[in-house]
Chain A
Amino acid sequence: MRRVVVTGLGMVTPLACGVEPSWRRLLAGQSGASLVDRFDVSDLPCKIACMIPRGDGTADSFNPDDWMEPKEQRKVDDFIIFAMAAAQQALDDAGWHPTSYEDQTVSGVLIGSGIGGIEGIAESAHILRERGPRRISPFFIPGRLINLAGGYVSIAHGLKGPNHAVVTACSTGAHAIGDAGRLIALGDADVMVAGGTESTVNRLSLAGFAACKALCTSFNDAPERGSRPYDRDRDGFVMGEGAGIVVLEEYEHAKARGAKIYAELIGYGLSGDAFHITAPSPDGDGAFRCMTAALKRAGLTAADVDYINAHGTSTMADEIELRAVERLLGNSAANVSMSSTKSSIGHLLGAAGAVEAIFSVLAIRDQIAPATLNLENPSVDTPIDLVPLKARSRPIETALSNSFGFGGTNASLLFAKVDR
């Protein structure tokens, strides 16, 4: 199969708009969490979230006007605007702006979202009930459909290759990058713009996840301390929002045009728990099998893993993943650093796997493992370095990024330095 490399990165996170400022703030141990002030949370058990720093575009804030015409923004939910921003950044970073028919038709898009335009759906449902069907906008449907993130991106950048989307809850971003890599490996495309996007910081989503008992509720008075994977005081995830998008490219194609190559996507594994709609299987077997599959695809063993970006949501599932990783690593567990960057940016749901894949690629580039913030009192003993509180410089040749979603859907991506 053809080799697949990463040649462009883009992101909008609760830390910043842009890859480098987000990464810088992540390594500095900053948290993106705060009290929600965009809507009423007085009757919600969880009143905190990690929100995009909206602003005029200065100081790394997110100004939607920088990425999409105001008249277009009106028609879509935020997840599409986030995707437009991250995709533009990634394509600019890759220096790939296809204009010829040949270049356009080998360039595709595969952007997913866990939930899509839930806010616009909720608003339109109100309009339907109160004012009737004639008041429903013609942009209601195309502005909420999950694959329209990719649709808008493809139109803006002339991407005429595969036009696909993934919807696998919190594994979406990882599946999108993994599947896009396969399309390149199998020759369906030479370049893919791939990742995930999510805009679920709204009343309905918080109420829904609160009903699932999945959200952090004990830290409303100290939002930055709420997301604390592996810590004994953790009590649920902190919702995030944003997008992560990469440009994946066939290795020879990237080399031939002299592209900057961040890393190679050497492995991708998928599995299902077949256990419960929201809870992971307690034996962690699904997680174990998708990590194993990613290593097998790469022709590596567990001893070759240096860094793991954990799914680590700051819920009861943390320990299940940790045990699965211990099972995978066996005797090499003590050589591995594993952190959850959700401790800083919260849980970006469908965008999480993509943003965390980018952090994994940057960990390889800069030879540093970002920290697990708020890990003050580990809930269990483990030989694995969970990188508590402070980022740690260390050799990183390979990085594994885990994502697990509602429905028992698991994905692992394995990245490595090119030409190790």
Chain B
Amino acid sequence: MSDIAERVKKIVAEHLGVEPEKVTENASFIDDLGADSLDTVELVMAFEEEFSTEIPDDAAETILTVGDAIKFLEKNAG
């Protein structure tokens, strides 16, 4: 598992208050991890913070699963 994947999963588990085992790449923030739409906005902000990057709104809308976030950040972050 890449360093980015690990950091993403840690942020997701912390922000959504879920067990780390549940944070798999296929897990959907809303359907599987109990997030609401506000939680997902905050998650994107946390990713931006952690990876010192900016995630544009149209890209943020396509980040629905843990794997989506990892893929986006592997491509666009540091």
Contact, CB under 8 Å: A137 / B16: no
Q: A145 to chain B: closest CB distance in Å?
A: 13
Contacts of A71 in B (CB 8 A): 15-17
In the assembled complex, B74 has its CB within 8 A of some CB on chain A: no
Which A residues are in CB contact (< 8 Å) with B41?
Answer: 138
Residues of B near A135 (CB, < 8 A) are 45, 49
**What's the count of A-B pairs with C-beta under 8 Å?**
18
With most chain A CB atoms within 10 A of its CB, the pick from B15, B16, B38, B49 is B38
| A residues in contact with B42, CB < 8 Å | 137-139
A139–B48 alpha-carbon span in the complex (Å): 17
A56 to B17, CA, bound (A): 20
- What sequence of 0s and 1s flags, for each residue 159-178 of chain A, a beta carbon within 8 Å of any chain B beta carbon? 00000000000000000000
Q: In whole angstroms, what is the CA distance A139 to B45 when docked? A: 12
Expressed in whole angstroms, the Cα–Cα distance for A204 and B16 within the complex equals 30
Asked if B45 contacts A134 (CB within 8 A), the reply is yes
Which bucket holds chain B's interface residue count?
A: 10 to 19
Considering the complex, which residues of chain A in the window 68-85 have a beta carbon less than 8 Å from any beta carbon of chain B?
Answer: 69-71
Please, what's the 1-or-0 string for A118-134, where 1 marks a CB less than 8 Å from any CB in chain B?
00000000000000001
In the bound complex, residues from chain B placing their C-beta under 8 Å from that of A21 are none
Question: Is there a chain B Cβ closer than 8 Å to A142's Cβ?
Answer: yes
> Which B residue sits closest to A72, measured CB to CB?
B17
How many Å from the CB of A402 to the closest CB on chain B?
Answer: 40
Within the complex, which residue of B15, B17, B38 is in contact with A69, where a contact is CB–CB below 8 Å?
B17
Most A-side CB within 10 Å, residue of B15, B17, B49, B54 = B17
Rounded to whole angstroms, the CA-CA distance of A137 and B54 in the bound complex is: 15
With A134-B45, A135-B45 as contacts: A142 and B38 at CB distance below 8 Å: yes
Question: In whole angstroms, what is the CA distance A121 to B49 when docked?
Answer: 21
CA distance A134 to B16 in the complex (A): 20
Contact A70 B45 (CB under 8 A): no
A69 closest partner in B (C-beta): B17
Residue ID in chain B nearest A136 by CB atoms:
B45
Smallest beta-carbon distance A284→chain B, Å: 47
Extra 13 A-B pairs, beta carbons < 8 Å, given A134-B45, A134-B48, A139-B42:
A69-B17, A70-B17, A71-B15, A71-B16, A71-B17, A134-B54, A135-B45, A135-B49, A137-B45, A138-B38, A138-B41, A138-B42, A139-B38
Which residues of B are in contact with A by a Cβ distance under 8 Å?
15-17, 38, 41-42, 45, 48-49, 54
Shortest Cβ-Cβ A-B pairs, 4 listed: A71-B17, A138-B38, A138-B41, A138-B42
A-B contact pairs, 18 of them (CB 8 A): A69-B17, A70-B17, A71-B15, A71-B16, A71-B17, A134-B45, A134-B48, A134-B54, A135-B45, A135-B49, A137-B42, A137-B45, A138-B38, A138-B41, A138-B42, A139-B38, A139-B42, A142-B38
